[in-house]
A and B are shown apart, each in its own frame.
Chain A
Amino acid sequence: MSRLLVCPPDFFEIEYEINPWMRLSNRVNHERAVLQWHGLMSVVEKDLGVVLERMTPITGLPDLVFTANAGVVVGRTAVVSRFRYPERQREEAHFENWFRGHGYDVVTVEEGLCFEGAGDLLGFPECWFGGYRQRSDIRAFPVLSERFHREIIPLELVDTRFYHLDTCFCPLSGGELLYFQPAFDPYGQIAIAERIPNERRLSVPEDEALRFACNAVCVGKHVVLPAGCPTTERLLQERSYQTHSVPLDEFMKSGGSAKCLTLALD
């Protein structure tokens, strides 16, 4: 049974601008945000049968809701994130405490290196991919690769709108990849093609990519994704995935969607 770490959106707000989606003038409708978050949780818990671990929200940390950036969990080891922006660095201690309190061996990357957790490190059982340039430092990946004995292919993120790897790249349980190719440079596109054959690469159209179609949660043959991405849903259904679309536009005001709101624990 899968477990996901989540954090209720009690204090979710736009309090600063650290990605192209965030606008201080674009206020969050708090009520809607809470409804949308509970809608997502309900699908994940009831339809997907996932166990949710809820963190305690903290006032003044609006983005604590995006637990995908807490770190990355491998077995009983948690690599806690080091955020690029001071606005989110304040979250680090809370994520670390949570992991420690739940019996994880906590690891950090060396000081001075940024690493934003499962937002920038995703993969298949054998081969992982690391997004860099926007948030995480490429130098974090060799360290993690050595620690976990996994190949990590670094991919440069060349479009600031897709500032984390999980905004444009979503590995699926059957070995397919849902992704938005133009978010990568030609070197990255070739590197992806080398690892994932053409027939397993599902290219999301730009309008749906901009609705964060790739910021999806895949558990078994279920994929939870933001509403308004019919082409992506069809691509997934053709591969016999069951799709669950959830309205999450309040969180898109912050540049996050389904995947950003969850962290896979095991």
Chain B
Amino acid sequence: MAQDTASETMGLFQETVLISGHIIDSLLLAKVLDIILMMGGTFDLEDVHIGKTREEPSRARIVIRTTSKELLDDILKAIQPHGASVEREADCRTADVPADGVFPDDFYATTHLPTHVRLNGQWVEVDRIEMDLGILVDERASVARAVPMGEVRRGDRIVVGREGVRVSPLQRPRERDIFGFMESQVSAERPHGHVIADIAARMRQMRDRYRRGQADSKVLLAGGPAIIHAGGREALAWLIEQGFVHLLFCGNALAAHDMEADLYGTSLGYGLTAGRAVPHGHEHHLRTINRIRSIGSIEAAVTSGVVKQGIMAACVRQGVPVVMAGTIRDDGPLPGVITDSVRAQSAMRAAVPGVGLALLVASTLHSVATGNLLPATVPTVCVDVNPSVPTKLADRGSFQAVGLVMDAASFLSEVARILGRSA
């Protein structure tokens, strides 16, 4: 069962206990914590209050985690005689959605960490967890999933308050690569070599898993047009052709400049090989967009042979889904670009389940948008020449993202080289 696997890797068997009294000088707290560790559990010490005088009691709240239900029960049994009592558990509280698209007051706002809610006495994992959403529950079916504000309908039941909601911190993954640290230290001065090597190794591993049909094996790339301008187009197209990327999030610009390069050999009017502005080159992307619009779709442009090479062509040929989200400054836009940003967000959200690695490359907008949609359990890399992008991503809560301050083309070329592309 998927639940068991998740519980084992995430250490989700947990219980909160309270202990109070003269627990410090009597070494009672130390004894209880020692028992937990000696028996093979782990703990987080929360809300420790130490009495200010000898008479004043102290108290502590201890979250105990184990890898099995049996061990958790054994530990609880062992510490209860020492005064640790299980915090009284209650089901989560819910309230009706008062009107379409409106959460009830006091709705629980999610984090992107693994979350469980207690329904009818059972802890149920919240499906499709994502930050800044609400939790929709079906009490009768004992299921819960994260839901955006705009999608709720009158009468839906939404979790309110914090009671009966459990958020689990990330456990260190077994792999001892850069993702093992899961922290977004952003520095242009850090050597990139080993970081890129680790990313490439993960991509190779993901491709094997994807080919075997395993869960959470998709590699998502969210990218901006700088990939094309900087010369990363061939490397990315190669990665897609070779089956290393399984989902692409981008905007109008990346697709337009990718196909402009194929049709005119320019990117935003600059000759990609000569590196100079071409006369009237600034019109090329407009003529490209217009051409595709006249054909009707990017897919038709590729299958009809009008667009032969590049990222979009690779996606069409490999059957890699592309979600294109429009912006207010777009020209055209290209057919397939979703111009309603709420719809675009929903389309991206619908594509996220199954993603096991996310590469956010050279785009502030798409990186932050994608970061917001990803559970914290998805290893994420944010690559940008501007350190403020990975920083912004981390500031908005995607702490699991590894920040890499470098040019998109160099990054993609190096990853492709490690994965076997001849220079």
- List A residues at the B interface (Cβ < 8 Å): 126-127, 132-133, 138-139, 141-142, 145-146, 149-156, 185, 187-188, 190-191, 194-195
Contact check, B57 vs A154: say whether CB atoms are below 8 A apart. no
B20 at the interface (CB under 8 A from A): yes
Residues of A within 8 A of B57 (CB): 142, 145-146
Contact check, A152 vs B85: say whether CB atoms are below 8 A apart. no
B280 at the interface (CB under 8 A from A): no
Residues of B within 8 A of A187 (CB): 26-28, 30-31
With the chains together, A152 CA to B81 CA distance in Å?
17
With the chains together, A127 CA to B82 CA distance in Å?
20
Contact check, B26 vs A154: say whether CB atoms are below 8 A apart. yes
Contact check, B54 vs A152: say whether CB atoms are below 8 A apart. no
Write the chain A residue with the least CB distance to B23: A154
With the chains together, A219 CA to B81 CA distance in Å?
34
Please encode chain B, from 67 to 84, with 1 for each CB lying within 8 Å of some chain A CB and 0 for all others. 000000000000001110
Please encode chain B, from 22 to 34, with 1 for each CB lying within 8 Å of some chain A CB and 0 for all others. 1001111011000
Contact check, A152 vs B27: say whether CB atoms are below 8 A apart. no
B55 at the interface (CB under 8 A from A): yes
B21 at the interface (CB under 8 A from A): yes
Contact of A153 among B25, B81, B85 (CB under 8 A): B25
Contact check, A152 vs B25: say whether CB atoms are below 8 A apart. no
Quote the shortest CB–CB distance from B224 to chain A (angstroms): 59
Contact check, A154 vs B28: say whether CB atoms are below 8 A apart. yes
- List B residues at the A interface (Cβ < 8 Å): 20-22, 25-28, 30-31, 54-55, 57, 81-83, 85
With the chains together, A188 CA to B25 CA distance in Å?
10
Contact check, B21 vs A154: say whether CB atoms are below 8 A apart. yes
With the chains together, A132 CA to B20 CA distance in Å?
15
Contact of A141 among B21, B25, B27, B54 (CB under 8 A): B21
Contact check, B27 vs A190: say whether CB atoms are below 8 A apart. yes
Residues of B within 8 A of A195 (CB): 25
Residues of A within 8 A of B55 (CB): 145, 149-151
With the chains together, A145 CA to B56 CA distance in Å?
8
Residues of B within 8 A of A152 (CB): 21-22
Contact check, A138 vs B27: say whether CB atoms are below 8 A apart. no
With the chains together, A151 CA to B28 CA distance in Å?
14
Residues of A within 8 A of B81 (CB): 132-133, 138
Residues of B within 8 A of A151 (CB): 22, 25, 54-55
With the chains together, A146 CA to B53 CA distance in Å?
12
Residues of A within 8 A of B28 (CB): 138, 154, 187
With the chains together, A259 CA to B180 CA distance in Å?
61
With the chains together, A132 CA to B84 CA distance in Å?
13
Contact of A156 among B21, B25, B82, B85 (CB under 8 A): B82
Contact check, B21 vs A194: say whether CB atoms are below 8 A apart. no
With the chains together, A194 CA to B22 CA distance in Å?
13
6 shortest A-B CB distances, which residue pairs?
A142-B21, A187-B27, A138-B83, A153-B26, A151-B54, A187-B31
- 5 extra interface residue pairs, beta carbon distance < 8 Å, beyond A142-B83, A151-B25, A155-B26: A138-B28, A145-B55, A150-B55, A152-B21, A156-B31
Write the chain A residue with the least CB distance to B30: A187
Residues of A within 8 A of B20 (CB): 142
Residues of A within 8 A of B27 (CB): 187-188, 190-191
Quote the shortest CB–CB distance from A155 to chain B (angstroms): 7
With the chains together, A18 CA to B82 CA distance in Å?
22
With the chains together, A139 CA to B57 CA distance in Å?
12
Quote the shortest CB–CB distance from B384 to chain A (angstroms): 53
Residues of B within 8 A of A133 (CB): 81
With the chains together, A47 CA to B85 CA distance in Å?
48
Contact check, B83 vs A154: say whether CB atoms are below 8 A apart. yes
Residues of B within 8 A of A145 (CB): 21-22, 55, 57
Quote the shortest CB–CB distance from A139 to chain B (angstroms): 6
Write the chain A residue with the least CB distance to B29: A187
Write the chain B residue with the least CB distance to A185: B31
Write the chain B residue with the least CB distance to A155: B26
With the chains together, A150 CA to B22 CA distance in Å?
10
Contact check, B26 vs A191: say whether CB atoms are below 8 A apart. yes
Write the chain B residue with the least CB distance to A150: B55
8 inter-chain pairs at a CB distance below 8 angstroms, sorted by A residue, are: A141-B22, A142-B20, A142-B83, A145-B21, A153-B26, A185-B31, A187-B30, A188-B26
With the chains together, A127 CA to B26 CA distance in Å?
12
Contact check, A191 vs B21: say whether CB atoms are below 8 A apart. no
Residues of B within 8 A of A154 (CB): 21-22, 26, 28, 83
Quote the shortest CB–CB distance from B37 to chain A (angstroms): 14
Residues of B within 8 A of A138 (CB): 21, 28, 81-83
Residues of A within 8 A of B82 (CB): 138, 156
Write the chain B residue with the least CB distance to A194: B25
Residues of B within 8 A of A150 (CB): 55
With the chains together, A150 CA to B81 CA distance in Å?
22
Residues of A within 8 A of B54 (CB): 126-127, 151
With the chains together, A151 CA to B53 CA distance in Å?
9
Quote the shortest CB–CB distance from B39 to chain A (angstroms): 16
Choose among B22, B26, B55 the residue with the greatest number of A CB atoms under 10 Å from its CB. B26
Choose among B20, B22, B25, B57 the residue with the greatest number of A CB atoms under 10 Å from its CB. B22
Quote the shortest CB–CB distance from B335 to chain A (angstroms): 70
Residues of B within 8 A of A142 (CB): 20-22, 57, 83
Residues of B within 8 A of A146 (CB): 57
With the chains together, A156 CA to B32 CA distance in Å?
12
Quote the shortest CB–CB distance from B53 to chain A (angstroms): 9
Residues of B within 8 A of A141 (CB): 21-22
Quote the shortest CB–CB distance from B110 to chain A (angstroms): 36
Contact check, A139 vs B26: say whether CB atoms are below 8 A apart. no
Quote the shortest CB–CB distance from B166 to chain A (angstroms): 25
Quote the shortest CB–CB distance from A177 to chain B (angstroms): 15
With the chains together, A156 CA to B54 CA distance in Å?
20
With the chains together, A150 CA to B31 CA distance in Å?
22
Quote the shortest CB–CB distance from B364 to chain A (angstroms): 54
Residues of B within 8 A of A156 (CB): 31, 82
With the chains together, A133 CA to B81 CA distance in Å?
6
Contact check, A139 vs B85: say whether CB atoms are below 8 A apart. yes
Residues of A within 8 A of B26 (CB): 153-155, 187-188, 191
